Structure 1
Amino acid sequence: MIVVENMSVPADRRVWNEALALSNDGYNVSVISPCHGSDVEHEILEGVNIYRFKIRNSMKGKLQYIEEYLWALKGIRDKLRIIHKRMPIDVIQICNPPDILFLSVIPYKFSGVKIIFDHHDLAPEMAAEKFGNNRALKFLMLACEWMTFKISDKVISTNQSHKDIAIRRGGIKESDIEIVMSAPSIKNIPKRNRPDNICIGYMGIVGEQDGVEYYIYAVKTFIMLYGNEKASFKLIGDGPYMGEINKLINELELGSIIECTGFLKGEEYRSHMSQISIGVSPDTKNNYSDRCTMNKTLEYMAMGIPFVAFPLDETLKIAEGSGIFVEDRNYIAMALAIRKLIDDKLLSEKLGRLGREKFLSEINWENQKSKLISLYNGM
């Protein structure tokens, strides 16, 4: 049983890859996730049972998080109860954020069910970036994280920084932690087109912490310096901050310049991604992002797309040599680096090739899933 609160499955690529890997290895896998858009409450996809719960979002500001999480806990509790009556659950994998899902699985822990914590995000650091360094909130977030670690029999970390946190803050033994990166699968990587027109693209979630405004500012700077005949611009993705980004695009008179596709999946996603010549990873440096491995960067590397990024610690560890890193929050430097990649085709091809080679040899999901299965087999 895999439980996720913040994204629907199969749209959540990491969780869906995990579910398929376990199912293909012979496990009976069910997933509980939120119901978004036209999602149905229950369906079976590729042998995986997907149960979805509805979330109510009628409040604004910080209260919307409280409302969402209360409805999520109720929905998860109800789905777990129904599923457990039909077939006893042996293992529950809870995926953050948020770090409150332990509240839904405590009764099962006491009845002998094994708990795995799939540690996607550093929730205390994320909250600090969103809401400021509020001491009461920080204590609450750390307490929830600690409780999640304490009820877990095993922990899956997305990178070394997360593993270090599990050991230092969670008191987890190193032998009970497995690093499984959120990497795309080789078989799902779109074939990259090489059109004559250069396309500068951003791909990913559009949240307040994702720095998308720096991509927009870089586009504006690029056009002011060089005009818009050199390249086209594409923003693939959506999220809670998209309204603010659309306002910024209109204020800077970029509405006819940047193509905003919204959230895409399947063939439509592959078609748009294949058009990108240069990727942008505008996440800014802070205590949260420095410890994250950005999915967008892995997607660029997988497709052999050279990219421009700010120098985040984990991004440098995994992707140095695959893109150009510029001074944090310096969108002018970002625009200049984009122009450099356009003009220097040999450099652009070299960076894209090195990123692709590293993806194929180390990072791809085919390499990661064996570690996930090994952890489950050892439970």
Structure 2
Amino acid sequence: MGCTGKKILIIMENLPVPYDRRVWLEATSLVEEGFHVSVISPRRKGDVPCAVIDGVHVYRYKMYPPTRGLLSYLWELSYCWVMTFWLSLVVWRREGIDAIQSCNPPDTYWLLGRFYKLFGKKYVFDHHDLNPELYESRFGKRGWIHRVLLWLERQQFRTADRVIATNESYRQVAIQRGGVPPERVVVVRSGPDLNRFHRVAPNESLKRGKRYLAVYLGVMGPQDGVDYLIRAVEHVVRTFGREDIQFALVGDGDVRPDLEMMTHEKGLDEWVYFTGFQFGDELLEILSTADIAVAPDPKSPFNDVSTMNKVIEFMAMGLPVVSFDLKETRYSAGEAAVYAPPNDEREFARCIIELLDDPDRRRRMGEYGLQRVREHLAWEHSRKVLIQLYTELLCESK
């Protein structure tokens, strides 16, 4: 295709790589097609600043401690932006850059994109989150901050040579709200690589003496609903009297310390444990041991139109899912999920219990979900769109 050696820099701020599985699949897929890929992200404690992982050149800066309050958050944004810009200069000198792919949040790297476009580089906006809707969902209001977020989002769209949307809802936002021509927006859905995401031998010790294991996987931010899950667990144990279900919460995020304290204060430590980020065989072992998966994202203007990566990954592992009834989750999961009324923690708990008590239904739902992933949602389907985008942008553009 004439693309061998074209150099792509991917920028990621809100999660380290390779722990953001979507970004890592994008990076490794591009490497497999002959592109030279570098990634800039924050680093966790114990990670090295620079490394080559699976053929991807990774540059990482020290992660800024979680912040509270507007001023401290602006300071964090500034710190991350400056570190990213500095490392981008390092990448430009060492590796070279033909295109930059910015993954939000935040919507601030269009400034970096405009800088590099002065030197003939291409800018691709990988639209992960609707930040105006995220703000409204988190704080229950709009106001001047909401208007600023809309303005920042518009700058992303205006700067981008191409926009990557995670689903059709996001594509329509880019076209209708962002004014991006339809031919410049492609949908690259988040989906698991079935060559790497597969069942392994279960480890019954992960159930910690309980009969069943329910698993949560993902980021633990204010909008992700893990607090709803903990309150649902309280209903499972106290309202319904079920003490035979263990809950493994896999992931990390800004509110994890608060969630751990909440679990302890409610006296639920016996039924809930936190693992932090897991990757590779350790993650597969947990998912292979689980009987069901839970997606407690509450209904909100943001969550209702966002594709939940964890739901598709659960389906790829043959796990039936309990979720609140969200538009995009229902589209993704179909009959692979049981849908509780939005934000009703008691009903969420009841759905968990009813599903665990019906093994035949769990089996049917798991089989349906795995088949749907194989036929429509696996990464191999999205991979082709991503490769075509960069082939047209870097190898066929005049």
What TM-score range do you get, normalising by the shorter chain? Answer: over 0.9
**Distance in structure 2 (CA, Å) of the matches to 1:205 and 1:226:** 28
Structure 2 residue aligned with 1:255: 269
Structure 2 residue aligned with 1:213: 227
**Distance in structure 2 (CA, Å) of the matches to 1:59 and 1:240:** 8
Q: 1:27 to 1:234 in 2, by over 3 A?
A: same
Give the secondary structure class of the aligned counterpart of 1:29: strand
**Distance in structure 2 (CA, Å) of the matches to 1:55 and 1:189:** 28
2:329 to 315, 336, 355: 315
- Give how far 1:180 is off: 0.6
**Distance in structure 2 (CA, Å) of the matches to 1:346 and 1:265:** 30
Structure 2 residue aligned with 1:34: 42
Which structure 2 residues correspond to residues 1-379 of structure 1 after superposition, within 5 A?
Answer: 1-57=9-65, 60-191=68-199, 197-379=211-393
Structure 2: which 5+ runs fail to align?
Answer: 1-8, 205-209, 394-398
- Give how far 1:54 is off: 2.8
8 Å CA contact 2:293–2:314 kept in 1: the answer is yes
8 Å CA contact 1:55–1:71 kept in 2: the answer is no
- Give how far 1:316 is off: 0.9
- Give how far 1:56 is off: 3.7
Give the secondary structure class of the aligned counterpart of 1:209: coil
- Give how far 1:70 is off: 0.5
Residues 232-265 of structure 1, C-alpha deviations (whole Å, 9 max, x = no match): 2221122111122112211221112212212212
**Distance in structure 1 (CA, Å) of the matches to 2:96 and 2:188:** 27
**Distance in structure 2 (CA, Å) of the matches to 1:55 and 1:331:** 34
**Distance in structure 1 (CA, Å) of the matches to 2:271 and 2:235:** 13
- Give how far 1:375 is off: 0.5
**Distance in structure 2 (CA, Å) of the matches to 1:254 and 1:266:** 28
- Give how far 1:63 is off: 2.3
**Distance in structure 2 (CA, Å) of the matches to 1:49 and 1:87:** 9
Q: How many residues align?
A: 379
**Distance in structure 1 (CA, Å) of the matches to 2:252 and 2:65:** 17
- Give how far 1:89 is off: 1.5
- Give how far 1:228 is off: 4.1
Runs of 4+ in structure 1 deviating by more than 3 angstroms, as ranges, are 55-60, 192-196, 225-230
Q: 1:57 to 1:241 in 2, by over 3 A?
A: closer
**Distance in structure 1 (CA, Å) of the matches to 2:95 and 2:363:** 52
**Distance in structure 2 (CA, Å) of the matches to 1:87 and 1:337:** 51
8 Å CA contact 2:198–2:316 kept in 1: the answer is no
- Give how far 1:83 is off: 2.1
**Distance in structure 2 (CA, Å) of the matches to 1:55 and 1:356:** 36
Give the secondary structure class of the aligned counterpart of 1:187: coil
Partner letter of residue 209 of structure 1? Answer: Q
Q: Greater CA deviation, 221-230 or 296-305?
A: 221-230
**Distance in structure 2 (CA, Å) of the matches to 1:68 and 1:266:** 30
8 Å CA contact 1:33–1:53 kept in 2: the answer is yes
8 Å CA contact 1:121–1:292 kept in 2: the answer is yes
8 Å CA contact 1:190–1:271 kept in 2: the answer is no
**Distance in structure 1 (CA, Å) of the matches to 2:294 and 2:64:** 34
Identity of aligned residues (%): 35
8 Å CA contact 2:243–2:271 kept in 1: the answer is no
8 Å CA contact 1:185–1:365 kept in 2: the answer is yes
* RMSD (Å), alpha carbons: 1.7
Residues 184-239 of structure 1, C-alpha deviations (whole Å, 9 max, x = no match): 11012241657693212222111111111221122121122443453222211221
Q: Greater CA deviation, 58-67 or 162-171?
A: 58-67
Give the secondary structure class of the aligned counterpart of 2:289: coil
Structure 1: which 5+ runs fail to align?
Answer: none
Q: Greater CA deviation, 189-198 or 117-126?
A: 189-198
- Give how far 1:53 is off: 2.1
Q: Greater CA deviation, 184-193 or 34-43?
A: 184-193
TM-score (norm 2): 0.91
Residues 328-366 of structure 1, C-alpha deviations (whole Å, 9 max, x = no match): 111111121112112222211111111111011111112
Q: Greater CA deviation, 329-338 or 156-165?
A: 329-338
- Give how far 1:27 is off: 0.7
Give the secondary structure class of the aligned counterpart of 1:210: coil
- Give how far 1:60 is off: 3.6
